Amino acid sequence: MTDRLDRAPATDAAAALLGRLVDAGVAHVVVSPGSRSQALALAAAELEARGRVQVHVRIDERVAGFTALGIGRETGVPAAVICTSGTAVANLLPAALEAHHAGVPLLLLTADRPPELRGVGANQTTRQPGIFSPNMRFEADVPVPEAIDDDGTAEQTVMLRTLADDAFAAALGVGARAAGPVHLNLPVREPLAGALPTWFGVEVPPTEASAEDAIVDVADEPQPWGALYQGGGGVGESDLPADADDAPTMLDRGPRTVVVAGADAGPSAESLAHAGAWPLIAEIVSGSRFGRHVVHGYRALLTDGDLGGRIERVVVFGHPTLSREVTAVLSRDDVEVIAVRGPGEPLNLNGATVAADAVAVAPGDPDKEWLGAWMRASRDAAVDLSPAAPDADALASAEPETRLGAISAELSIIRARIDRAALVDAVWRATWPHDRLLFASSRLVRVADQLLGGKKVPVHANRGLAGIDGTVATGLGIALASQSGGASGVTRVLSGDLALLHDVGALLLPPGEVEPRIQVIVGNDGGGTIFDGLEVATVAGADAMDRVLYTPHTVRLEQLATAYGWEYQRVATRSALDQALTSPVGGRQLIEVALER
């Protein structure tokens, strides 16, 4: 047995908590190094050495938070983030907010100074309990560990294991409306680390006790083991009207209905549209844009009086955010809106939306006229972005003029510069079911939503709050999780230049860690040209637009990629882009595509 003189209560507590989270199912731990969190970090390193967890080290806590978010997005299981006290904790807020609004499981383990040092001017100390409220599914300001546990049965150890069970369940959404973030604030006194206990890593059956049996009010006083502060917000049932039982809401076929699929809707939206013979309006980030009922060019059709104006009912999956036309329909008081509960925030734009845990189509004959009108309009609105096929007959012609004309046409196609439409089309065509595609909240996702056809591929996007922060880190988290265990596929991140630069710190990966297969494709137009399509462009002068909105830059992405150890390519033509996207990918690639301002 390890000499008790080498032991520390902080380490025994970290062993109990983190070991139990791994027993529960945590497979990834993201560590941002710091002194106060060293016991947790060393416990994670030991679990990694034993092959029980994957550890990812990130020096920037914001990057760490979004890396864990990407892992949770892909797997549906929370990754744990470990950080030190002070501003380190505050840097997790953007990822915590996105996890809350998008319903992504996430565990935040924040080290802290002991309660007696709060509010007295102690170094690197602020009031961390409740810092993320009201966006947590569960949060606890854990008592300072005091005991050294020789056999793994002390009250402190039992309580921490119970707390780990509760935290893991809450992150998955057990007992709440949806999955989401959990915050465990972990104050410790010196010594901050010691030898790991001999019982560390030995699985223990679940305890029958619950941390909820010992809730007390938050206080800046040390709490004894057996007393625990729990708080939280955003975890209750929706305020929307809902069915009284668990039976699916039956949708009769009478009302003229469309199915709307927003971010994270998944295949369920397509299944309902197919069963009901209803038009499917699927955002490109929905994971539902496939099947025979997908509507192309839906934005214009929603404003068409003969189609959009005649809608009587909308069934919504996921979180629609990409078009004002959809928002306008969902806000109408003459349209019945049924929102199927998903992982994200409840939808109620018209003040009368009905929430349903599940929906089903009632027996009856489909409205073929209604569906047919939408499908005919959809075919007329579809855009074919594929390059023209070579004219084989002309190329083989014995007439020099005909043959030279065909060659000239082919060269023109090959040499044509890439625009936004060609860029999104190339990335979409290169991505298949074994790959992953993440759209940044940039202008390009709106272009993709307007133009791209149906295809069943795994799509991600941080549309809970639709921020540009954390894009690269989220993509790396998705790549690490989806390729775990030797799975095939490439993760592609389609980003604007500002979204890349906002998260440039995520490009840094420590040597020795697993390098995922990832392509970050950056449409670089030298600034935030998404503002061209907003009202501000009609009222602001050119100088003001440049100064405070476009955010122009002259960053040389090649040198940036080189500094961070990424393979770099700059492409200017469609053929070069297609080749870059389809060539074998062995690691991290940054592909720059220059776009017209």
DSSP string, 394-437: HHT-S-HHHHHHHHHHHHHHHHPBP-HHHHHHHHHHH--TTSEE
Q: For position 229, what pLDDT does the model report?
A: 37
Sequence-distant contacts of 118-121: CB under 8 A, at least 24 apart = 118/220, 119/220
Q: What is the mean pLDDT of residues 202-228?
A: 46
- pLDDT per residue as tens digits for the range 11-34: 999 999 999 999 999 999 999 999
- Domains of the chain by range and CATH? 4-231 (3.40.50.970), 249-381 (3.40.50.1220), 420-594 (3.40.50.970)
Choice among 229-238, 293-302, 453-462, 583-592 with the minimum mean pLDDT? 229-238
Tokens found for residue 467? 């921020």
For the cut 80, the answer to whether the pLDDT of residue 230 exceeds it is no
506: pLDDT confidence band, cut at 50, 70 and 90? very high
The rounded distance, in Å, linking the Cα atoms of 459 and 31 is 27
Under 8 Å between Cβ of 233 and 133: yes
234: pLDDT confidence band, cut at 50, 70 and 90? very low
Q: Please indicate whether residue 295 or residue 134 has the higher confidence score (pLDDT).
A: 295
Q: For position 243, what pLDDT does the model report?
A: 44
Q: What is the mean pLDDT of residues 503-523?
A: 96
The rounded distance, in Å, linking the Cα atoms of 302 and 300 is 5
Choice among 52-66, 165-179, 238-252, 377-391 with the minimum mean pLDDT? 238-252
Please report which helix (H) or strand (E) contains residue 392, including its range.
helix 392-395
For the cut 90, the answer to whether the pLDDT of residue 231 exceeds it is no
Tokens found for residue 219? 């206080």
Q: For position 413, what pLDDT does the model report?
A: 66
217: pLDDT confidence band, cut at 50, 70 and 90? very low
Q: For position 340, what pLDDT does the model report?
A: 95
The DSSP output letter for 307 is T
- pLDDT per residue as tens digits for the range 85-108: 999 999 999 999 999 999 999 999
Q: For position 412, what pLDDT does the model report?
A: 65
Q: Please indicate whether residue 175 or residue 363 has the higher confidence score (pLDDT).
A: 363
Q: What is the pTM of this model?
A: 0.90
The rounded distance, in Å, linking the Cα atoms of 514 and 114 is 36
Q: Supply angle C-alpha 416, 422, 423, rounded to 5.
A: 115
Average pLDDT for the chain: 90
Residue in 184, 222, 200, 219 with CA at minimum distance from that of residue 152: 200
Q: What is the mean pLDDT of residues 127-147?
A: 95
**Torsions phi, psi for 386 (to 5 deg):** -70, 140
For the cut 60, the answer to whether the pLDDT of residue 188 exceeds it is yes
Evaluated on CA atoms 445, 446, 452, 458, the torsion sign reads: positive
The rounded distance, in Å, linking the Cα atoms of 62 and 491 is 21
Q: For position 15, what pLDDT does the model report?
A: 98
Q: For position 3, what pLDDT does the model report?
A: 64
Q: For position 220, what pLDDT does the model report?
A: 41
**Mutual orientation of helices 155-171 and 9-24 as an angle, nearest 10°?**
40
- pLDDT per residue as tens digits for the range 244-265: 456 899 999 999 999 999 999 9
Q: For position 87, what pLDDT does the model report?
A: 96
Evaluated on CA atoms 161, 48, 470, 105, the torsion sign reads: negative
| Cis peptide bond upstream of 248, omega within 30 | no
Neighbours of 280 (CB within 10 A): 30
Under 8 Å between Cβ of 160 and 228: no
Q: For position 501, what pLDDT does the model report?
A: 97
**What SS3 class is residue 64?**
helix
- pLDDT per residue as tens digits for the range 545-567: 888 888 889 999 999 999 999 99
The DSSP output letter for 454 is -
- pLDDT per residue as tens digits for the range 262-282: 999 999 999 999 999 999 999
The rounded distance, in Å, linking the Cα atoms of 472 and 499 is 8
205: pLDDT confidence band, cut at 50, 70 and 90? low
Q: Supply angle C-alpha 280, 379, 291, rounded to 5.
A: 40
For the cut 90, the answer to whether the pLDDT of residue 537 exceeds it is no
Radius of gyration of the chain (CA): 27
